[in-house]
Amino acid sequence: MALITTVGGVWTLQALLGVETMPAVLRIKPFVPSVHESLIVETTTGPLPLNETGEYLGLVQAGVIDATGHVDDVVRDWMTVLGRPGRQAVLSIRRPAGEEHGTPIVHERAVVVCRHRRWMAMAARDGDEVVIDAVGETDSPDEQVQLMCAPLLAALGQAPPAPIEGVNLPADLLASTLAHTTSSGRDAIAAALARLGLQPAQAEVLTAATRPDESAMAVVAVVDHGISHHVHPWVLTVADTDYGRISMTTTVAADGKTWMSVWPASNAALHNDLTELLSLPRAA
């Protein structure tokens, strides 16, 4: 069963287990032994021993910490994987959440799937809530990829693909076009995209995808950890619009030119894209 806790609850587990850092996408402060060795933490009521904080007591109530202060072995294993990943698959999701004083509000959620040797675990943050769970274990690279795909696909959910034909565009030209028109409104964006040769339906869908008040967007990236960390440049972007779902990826041609592929994203196509992304060779 998954552990549902808070940002403070995760940091409490870090302190108890000596896990110094969590994946950056979760935005949880590091545990620094030289600074936090006393396990006295600042709370709204003043400094308290860690084992008297609400976060600690909540974990005791949930059965994660026993009366002696021992952390459940399964949770300990999850925290080890999350704190020492060889590879991370990072998913950042942004959804429209209405407006405040005329300004669009964006709701953000982060999911990370980590692999440490043969073990895999995941964590998801939504506001102050953090969910941690097992993903699986295997020595087979192909099976590892499929196990890591599953929680990412679940987080993306299902949506119908946009009824458009796929298109490839010069990435620098597309980026320049959007940079010069995004602030001018959707009609200006659609007109500029049409001048790039997009069909009306393609231009409408891509225009909607660029607007945070109209569409949800998710970005999946792979990060490898070794002596340093390496973020792979190839990423998968998924946009859910009123017209349907599209995916966007970049490829580099033999002449070095970078192209952006915009494609209708069925569930099967997304699975294939994620499999390709997670199968990237590990960075040296």
pLDDT digits (tens, 9 = 90+) for 235-258: 999 999 999 999 999 988 899 899
pLDDT the model gives residue 284: 62
Mean per-residue pLDDT, 190-204: 95
Q: Is 70 exceeded by the pLDDT of residue 162?
A: yes
In angstroms, rounded to a whole number, what is the distance separating the alpha carbons of residues 29 and 43?
Answer: 15
Window from 70-84, 103-117, 120-134 with minimum mean pLDDT: 103-117
Query: From residue 123, how far is each of 6, 55, 69, 106, 127 by CA, in Å?
Result: 11, 18, 23, 21, 13
β-strand pairing of 87-100 with 216-225: antiparallel
Q: How far from chain centre, in Å, is Cα 61? A: 29
The pLDDT score that the predictor gives to residue 155 is 98
CA 225/CA 83 separation, integer angstroms: 11
Mean pLDDT of the chain: 94
Query: Is the predicted pLDDT of residue 260 greater than 80, yes or no?
Result: yes
Considering only 35-49, 70-84, 108-122, 139-153, which range has the smallest mean pLDDT? 35-49
For residue 103, pLDDT over 80 is answered with no
**Has residue 135 got a pLDDT over 80?**
yes
- pLDDT for position 104: 73
Q: What is the pLDDT of residue 221?
A: 97
The yes-or-no verdict on residue 34 having pLDDT over 80 is no
Give the separation between CA 79 and CA 244, rounded to whole angstroms.
37
pTM metric for this prediction: 0.93
